[in-house]
Amino acid sequence: MNARPGTEISSGIMSPDDVETWNREEFIAEAWDYHPGQHVTIIGPNGRGKTTLGLQLLDASATDTMKAFVLVSKPRDATFEKWRKKPGVKFIENYPPSPEPRFGGLRKKFTRIYFLKPYQSLKDLDGDDARLRREFRECMLDSYATPKPRIIFADEVQELQNDLGLKKECTKYWKRGRSLDSGLWALAQRSAYNVQDMYNAAEHLFLFSDPDRRNRQRYAEIGGVDPDLVEEITNTLDSYQALYIRRTGPAMCIVNP
């Protein structure tokens, strides 16, 4: 019998043939169930569609009472630019964002998703990194401390930790964010270089196929699932498919583009 997300999956007795495949729209509409403070991890090589998948999930999760902040470190990114004109989305260069105008005591529009994209000169790399670190850190700390639910979307979490020196801030989210309703959505390319918190702190994981066996072996750090099964499934995925794992249950399925 095929297993849909939400049903219990017993570790060690399933084969890849037992895991059901969902179309992405169907998965997001019927199976995706996000709650404040939950962490999301999306891992896979460059060009597989991690950012697109993450933003689609974010669009289905962020609300006016649980806003999301996307930390954009890339100077140019066509995937992000497609979101500029979407309802409820706003691009900002500095944190915090300006208060939304009110008319008659009511706001005219509601912003659910902020893309925090600080200015980069592309000529002074140290200065650009310092500006990114300052703006991203202030956003992360404020979102961590606010009594309202928040989502921080880190498109390049390895760069955030290593190049921008925000490893401690990321670690605080993974270890304590759930109790504060502050979720960290972390996207990364190379599994072998990810910290263990990306695997054992996330409630929701999306894993793309990876030709590097060392990267696939890191999936063994996901608690509550059979690591051999996870590696076997991810090794057989098509380029743009992702294995979804929800650790509560646990539950898993394959998500098509």
pLDDT digits (tens, 9 = 90+) for 229-240: 888 899 889 999
Residues 6+ apart with CB under 8 A from 55: 70, 79, 83, 153
pLDDT digits (tens, 9 = 90+) for 105-162: 565 578 999 999 999 999 999 999 999 999 999 999 999 999 999 999 999 999 999 9
| Global pTM value | 0.92
pLDDT at 206 over 80: yes
Does any domain span residue 157?
yes
Is residue 235 included in any domain, yes or no?
no
Model confidence over 158-178: pLDDT tens digits?
999 999 999 999 999 999 999
Domains in the chain: how many in total?
1
- Looking at the chain, the whole-number percentage of residues with pLDDT higher than 90 is 70
- How does residue 103 score in pLDDT terms, banded at 50, 70 and 90? low
Is 60 exceeded by the pLDDT of residue 1? no
Domain that holds residue 47: 36-97+109-218
Q: What is the pLDDT of residues 32-56, one digit of tens each?
A: 999 999 999 999 998 999 999 999 9
Mean pLDDT of the chain: 89
Residue 200 lies in a domain: yes
CATH label of the domain that carries residue 57:
3.40.50.300
